Structure 1
Amino acid sequence: MPEHNATSEWTLDYPPFFAWFEYALSHIAKYFDPQMLVVENLNYASRATIFFQRLSVILTDTLFIYAVHECCRCIKEKRAAKDILEKPAFILAVLLLWNFGLLIVDHIHFQYNGFLFGLMLLSVARLCQKRYLEGALLFAVLLHFKHIYIYVAPAYGIYLLRSYCFTANNADGSVKWRSFSFLHVTLLGLIVCLVSALSLGPFLVLGQLPQVISRLFPFKRGLCHAYWAPNFWALYNAMDKALTILGLKCNFLDGTKIPKASMTGGLVQEFQHTVLPSVTPLATLICTFIAILPSVFCLWFKPQGPRGFVQCLVLCALSSFMFGWHVHEKAILLAILPLSLLSIQRAKDAGIYLILATTGHFSLFPLLFTPPELPIKILLMLLFTVYSFSSLKSLFR
């Protein structure tokens, strides 16, 4: 057998834990339709296959439902008078469980983001409950299910160091360096190392770790995803195209030397800009780092407890979405879902949530491109948007 399989151009570009998850599903899938497990059956889609895929998404969403329950419980426990917070908790549950973006990405477009976001929200809930080791373990496991969550890893790292490894007994919340806990740092390090060893260890032993890394970070796929996530690089590409057209009309550019490859041609690839400087992965990394720096700085030096952590998490997700390399349009959900937790606490955050959710969800429309799906996605988004505006308006009169 070859060391790796390249039957399809759409390779398994998720970390090993997700491969084990699919391996477990395959033992059930064979009872529905064994042909779906044949690697060479590209684009195979029988009724039994579709039924199994939809059913598996629904069943794994139970983890997401449990995580939402824990997040709502954190909201209720913030006050002694729980009856006052029954309405915010209910609104939060609906905003998360009925999230338009997650609904179409998983249940129409078909993916398994529900249980992955369930892991993330559950880890956030555990950190809010000061169960730091559980939260760290859940997030470490999540990273080895889908590495896109590395976008928010700085928020987790800084918050765990600040809240778990240091104790701030001062009235102003400043860090007391002498209260550093070496034991707590060791425990966090052990969690990260053990989870990573369990995930990547076998590939390291077999000498296949470079192959895994190359699939997890396929830089040759180009700066932008096929649908152009609405971020800074989409504006950059649009500006390059506009300058190219202008240059051709003014005879500043030679049309025979301009490549005809498109950045939206389905299977994405590397693309050189015509007028503006071409962007490298390192450049996107630097831009992302600069963008997240203020939020992690505030999380360390001006801590606001769990609320500050969630704010930093949202800002890290948005920064990575705006400046990251080859960003998928559905990555906006990484900011919208945790922002739901903040939207029910302050009117200002509710306003930000409504703007981001409306524009972010609209940007997911290209995922559903067939004519029968058009009225479905418009109706679902209208229903969710109307509920979001009306419920948050009733909460913050």
Structure 2
Amino acid sequence: MDVAALGESMVTFLPSRPGRLADVPSFDRGIGGAETNVLCTLAAAGHSARWVSRVGADGFGDHLVETIGACGVDVRFVGRDPHRPTGIYFRTAGDRATDAHEVAYYRAGSAASAMAVGTVDAEALGACRVLHLSGITAALSADCLDLLRELTAPRPDRPLVSFDVNFRPGLWHDGAGPEVLLELARRADLVFVGDDEARAAWGLDGGQEILRALPGPRTVVVKRGAAGATAYDRGDARPRELKATDDATAPDRGEARPQEQDATHGATAKHRGDARPPEQDATATSVPAPKVDVVAHVGAGDAFAAGFLSATLRGLPVRDRLRHGHLMAAAALTVPGDLATPPDRDHADRLCALDEAAWERLRLGPGWTTAAADGAVQEGRTP
């Protein structure tokens, strides 16, 4: 597999009309889950993706497995729990663009919250190039946290570990969230974190402070919403297979490679044998987000992670990884639900190849992912 992910997905109920949950008479059913949003987007972009989780032995569990499987994701390693239900949640619709919508979760005691080291297939999670995890899973239960600690433990044969902080204060009733999320982020190879999350969880302001707090990861991506994103790269954070292939074809320069280029995992990368501050080891690459005619502010963070991971799997340079992340996020922002049809790979590659001025002129609106508009692309605009 290109990417495997562990995490809870829930059945989502979206109101059929705007208004308070107390006033809405009917709902439409969908799916929601940070990790499965990433996997479904990657599968739509042509990558092999696997979901490992647990759902209830109920109709909602059937719906999740069938729907996510229909997106092209491998769901063979999703267990069924006969004693615990599948999680569900309700949310309002009309005010979602303002992030002021109501959300009512019914996930306590869910099948996914009972995931533990002995209840999921560790080999299925390890047999991939990238393992994607989220801080949401750590908040579900003590067993889930132990499982994430096991999966992020440093070992020579683990996949590249991608970790999206996803700080949700409402899930951390004991107040332990910030400390736990910092621990897990430090053990990952690639970390996604919003600047607002870092400020709320850790009291950190700006990329340099975040880097000092995260000495281990090879790459830290700091998202700044509509302002764009910055990737701080301490070395080559690609899956092992890509690095092995490139290194085998690279000319022999007759010189020793720096230790940070040989290390496979962020967990070992912090031991560089020098006294430089961690932020001085990183190369910063910033890319502004394109202008987007937003339909709904949901799913954009997961889509950004999927775009960045897709470009990482393809071995693209850091600037293009960020641009692909922004394009995937723009696809999610221009549809009403969590999941969007990503742009055709050739279309996305042409947009990523725009010069800086054309990229900054780019404006994306509803329907842009299916618009075949080469002329518009050349001018840095697309319908």
TM-score of the aligned structures, taking structure 2 as reference length: 0.28
Structure with higher Rg: it is: 1
Which structure has greater strand proportion?
2
Which structure has greater helix proportion?
1
TM-score of the aligned structures, taking structure 1 as reference length: 0.28
Of structures 1 and 2, the one with the larger relative CO (CA 8 A, separation 6+) is: 1
